[in-house]
Structure 1
Amino acid sequence: MKKKKKRRSIVLIPIIVILIFAIGILYYSYEFDCEEDKSCYNRHLENCKKTKLTVMDEGSTFIYQITGKENNQCKTRVTLVDMPIETDPDTAKLFEGKSMDCKLEKGSTFTTEILPHCTGPLKEAIYELTIQKMYNILAQSLSDILAEF
């Protein structure tokens, strides 16, 4: 009789430990999907809870993900999923699928003006396009000035 109880406890203890471990993994890896609800995202941003928000902006689709917290900041990843069909293929190639990691103050609210708080390939692509456009404007202005002489 005692041997059966001992065997059961030997079998049950590892099963219980595995269940607790599995529940812990699920709890810490679960990401809540706010879909397109910015107020839902803001509620989760207060505590840096793992959350996903889909944002459509001028035909482009962005995914904002709260990935965790560090000190008093929420770690957030912004990914540009796709751009409008009429976008120049080179521009689309420069941006689509790229992401940037940002650190936002805990308790802040959703805004698209987070670039100063971010690093990564998407931010670099934004700066690259900005520099290209500025160069084109400068080159055009110089050619207009030189044409006057």
Structure 2
Amino acid sequence: MRCPFCYNEDTKVIDTRSIEDNTIIKRRRLCEKCNERFNTYEKLDIIPISVVKRDMTREPFDTNKLLKGILLACNKRPIPMNDIEQVVKEIENKIYTTTKKEINSQDIGEIAIEKLKTLDPIAYVRFASVYKEFKDIDSFMEEVRKVFDDKKGL
């Protein structure tokens, strides 16, 4: 591994730890030339999954795009970043544990909606308003009523 400080290729691993449910290995390294320390991470290289969009085009699944959408839905809500990251991780795991090499964007949206419904009702309605493409205020209000009725039923 090349040192990010002096670009020397002789580095030594001084510590190794598993993180994130043993799915990532964090290695602490020492450059033998400049004695700087730095971290590297190893993550399992998973077979890429294609997302089939509504217009039938395909693109690689992008966790960052999913995170961005969830963050927009959770904007200005009292939701800890750890909880948001956990939801994204759960969605990603569900997608990668399917045996398919392709997944519809609608299926990803449904998974995200179910996770957001338990996380925060406002974030859920925000995400649903984009995902479900409400055509008018009545369809939007119907979704809000469902959330309200679910909340009352608890």
After TM superposition, the score normalised by the length of structure 2 is 0.29
Q: Which of these two proteins has the greater Rg computed from alpha carbons?
A: 1
Report the structure, 1 or 2, having the larger strand content. 1
Provide the TM-score with structure 1 as the length reference. Answer: 0.30
